[in-house]
Amino acid sequence: MIPQPPRLHLSCEKLDSRGVFVLDTGDNLIMYVLRNIPTAVCRVLFGVPAFESIPDVMYELPELDNQDSERLRAFIGYLQDIKPYPVPLQIIR
């Protein structure tokens, strides 16, 4: 079973500085990692100790051995699978 986070209408009032958001433009997947993300999330999803350690731009998720990382990668894989062709993933902090 693939986790399905809630879908939000695109607006700045829905963004939370403690979150991670995925924007599917059709031709790209863009993951926004916002400044006040908890350090625990940085560790389990990106394998780094803090927000500042996340590279400015990444093009793939690290394969980490934890349930949250596996769920995120499964969700991104699901988004890729429903498309007629693979699209690039860009992770921006």
- Per-residue pLDDT tens digits for 8-31: 777 888 788 898 999 999 999 999
- Per-residue pLDDT tens digits for 31-66: 999 999 999 999 999 999 999 999 988 999 999 999
Region at 91 (left for phi over 0; alpha for psi -120 to 50; beta for the rest): beta
Give the residue extent of every domain in the chain: 15-92
Alpha-carbon span 35 to 71, nearest angstrom: 22
Alpha-carbon span 54 to 39, nearest angstrom: 11
| CATH superfamily membership of 15-92 | Severin (3.40.20.10)
Alpha-carbon span 30 to 42, nearest angstrom: 17
Instruction: List the structure tokens of 65.
Output: 């051995």
Please count the other Cβ atoms lying within 10 Å of the Cβ belonging to residue 87: 15
